[in-house]
């Protein structure tokens, strides 16, 4: 089946646009008639790389349609009408196509959660499971409100984590690029002049010559080897679960960046667990689903271990302590929630605590990165100046 972009008139006489899969133009017309849409024109979508990149449903799209689902359901609009309106009015073709598929599945007798399960890669198991709980309890609008808030909060967390990693990477790349350009193009010209003057060379100059020669000779390898190592590690991670666990554990212990990522992940785990448990999902089932949002194999393994301990009869706080899911501060907060019967509230407090700590660390790290890299750059420039001007000064002194 191919995707067709169509223009038609719906049963209210309103002009609508959308994307729908169909075997051919005739099949498209039949499908639209079933939805009370009279086809005006259609065009088959191309399958080139550009159109493929446009068909991706983003996290922001899911947040947007979840908010709209929740608001319209709360206003009393039937779910099928909400899906139809969003399908016809949403700007993104990928979302239109997805909503059209959900609508068709529900018309065929599927529940909302079953229709979403056909797009599990987009929504995720936690989202679909919570929607299923909402359908069975009659509180779908409340569940969607919690989901929308959770997704928006997680999106902010991801943006924060990327900010911590991307900014230093960009600045460090610029510094490395400047150093390489200096060593390959500027320094050889200056050193050629110094060597022609004769005289004894100091340690700084000898070291600069050796560094410049090394970078000039192995420039290609300096670019290729890190890329090769990156893809080798990625391949190894895909083949070895043990290596994946060890590397994810090491990532959480990397100086400066590791603790920030760890706290952000703890906040995300605690928040997702609080939402699911508060929605009525059993604690062990909530914990199992939470492992999928951890995004870290080491933490996933620890969470699975905690699930096994709880199923064997151990208390939640003791299982978390034994499995090393949360630090001692969080475990004390969870213990209070377990004893008081307010576990979801305790988990939200844990999430808030680590979210705040991570953000405070980010605010402290960001202002210090630029000065550190500036000092590094200043050290390199000073080294070059000493290495170049030192021999010139010695030569002038001898002439005098």
- The pLDDT tens digits for 152-182 are 887 887 777 677 677 777 777 887 887 788 7
Across the beta sheet with 15-22, what order do the strands follow? 15-22, 2-9, 38-44
User: What gap in Å lies between CA 13 and CA 8, rounded to an integer?
Assistant: 9
Number of H helices, E strands in the chain: 19, 3
- The pLDDT tens digits for 105-126 are 887 778 888 888 888 888 888 8
Q: Does the pLDDT of residue 228 top 90, yes or no?
A: yes
Predicted pLDDT of residue 178: 79
Predicted pLDDT of residue 235: 92
User: What gap in Å lies between CA 295 and CA 49, rounded to an integer?
Assistant: 28
pLDDT band at 225 (very low <50, low <70, confident <90, very high): very high
Integer angstrom CA distances of residue 310 from 282, 285, 315: 12, 11, 6
Predicted pLDDT of residue 400: 56
Predicted pLDDT of residue 197: 67
* Domains in the chain with CATH codes: 1-55 (no CATH), 149-400 (1.20.81.30)
The β-bridge relationship of strands 15-22 and 38-44 is unpaired
Integer angstrom CA distances of residue 226 from 182, 222, 235: 21, 7, 14
Structure-token match 């969470």, residue found: 303
pLDDT band at 53 (very low <50, low <70, confident <90, very high): very low
pLDDT band at 229 (very low <50, low <70, confident <90, very high): very high
Integer angstrom CA distances of residue 64 from 60, 152, 192: 6, 9, 62
Say how many C-beta atoms besides its own lie within 10 A of residue 208's C-beta.
24
Tell me what percent of the residues of the chain surpass a pLDDT of 90. Answer: 4
- In the chain, % helix, strand, coil (3-state, to 5) comes to 80, 5, 15
pTM of the model: 0.67
- The pLDDT tens digits for 324-354 are 888 888 889 888 988 888 888 888 888 888 8
Predicted pLDDT of residue 51: 44
User: What gap in Å lies between CA 62 and CA 322, rounded to an integer?
Assistant: 36
pLDDT band at 102 (very low <50, low <70, confident <90, very high): confident
Q: Does the pLDDT of residue 3 top 90, yes or no?
A: no
Structure-token match 């983003």, residue found: 58
pLDDT band at 52 (very low <50, low <70, confident <90, very high): very low
Q: What would the mean pLDDT of 84-88 be, rounded to a whole number?
A: 82
Q: What would the mean pLDDT of 371-385 be, rounded to a whole number?
A: 81
User: What gap in Å lies between CA 21 and CA 11, rounded to an integer?
Assistant: 21
Residue-averaged pLDDT of the chain: 81
């Amino acid at each position: 089946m191919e995707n067709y972009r169509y223009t038609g008139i719906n049963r209210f006489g309103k002009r609508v646009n959308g994307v729908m899969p169909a075997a051919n133009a005739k099949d498209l017309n039949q499908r639209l008639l079933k939805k009370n849409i009279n086809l005006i024109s259609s065009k088959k979508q191309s399958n080139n790389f550009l159109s493929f990149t446009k068909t991706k449903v983003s996290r922001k799209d899911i947040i947007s349609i979840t908010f709209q689902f929740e608001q319209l359901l709360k206003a009393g609009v039937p779910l099928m009408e909400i899906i139809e309106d969003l399908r016809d009015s949403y700007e993104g073709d990928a979302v239109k196509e997805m909503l059209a598929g959900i609508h068709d599945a529900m018309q065929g007798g599927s529940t909302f959660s079953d229709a979403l399960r056909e797009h599990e890669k987009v929504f995720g198991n936690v989202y679909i499971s919570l929607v299923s709980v909402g359908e069975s309890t009659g509180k779908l609008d409340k569940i969607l409100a919690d989901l929308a808030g959770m997704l928006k909060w997680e999106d902010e967390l991801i943006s924060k984590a990327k900010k911590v990693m991307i900014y230093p990477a960009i600045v460090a790349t610029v510094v490395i690029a400047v150093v390489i350009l200096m060593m390959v193009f500027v320094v050889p010209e200056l050193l050629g002049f110094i060597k022609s003057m004769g005289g004894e060379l100091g340690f700084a100059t000898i070291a600069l010559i050796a560094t410049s020669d090394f970078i000039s000779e192995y420039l290609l390898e300096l670019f290729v080897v890190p890329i090769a190592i990156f893809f080798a590690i990625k391949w190894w991670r895909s083949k070895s679960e043990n290596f994946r666990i060890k590397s994810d554990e090491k990532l959480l212990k990397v100086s400066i960046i590791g603790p920030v990522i760890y706290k952000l992940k703890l906040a995300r785990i605690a928040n997702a667990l609080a939402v699911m448990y508060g929605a009525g999902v059993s604690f062990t089932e909530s914990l199992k689903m939470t492992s999928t949002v951890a995004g870290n194999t080491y933490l996933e393994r620890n969470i699975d271990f905690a699930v096994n301990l709880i199923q064997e009869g151990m208390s939640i706080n003791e299982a978390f302590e034994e499995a090393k899911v949360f630090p001692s501060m969080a475990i004390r907060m969870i213990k209070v929630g377990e004893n008081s019967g307010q576990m979801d509230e305790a988990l939200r407090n844990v999430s808030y605590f680590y979210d705040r700590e991570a953000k405070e660390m980010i605010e402290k790290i960001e202002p210090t990165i630029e000065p550190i890299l500036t000092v590094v750059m200043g050290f390199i420039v000073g080294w070059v100046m000493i290495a170049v001007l030192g021999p010139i000064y010695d030569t002038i002194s001898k002439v005098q």
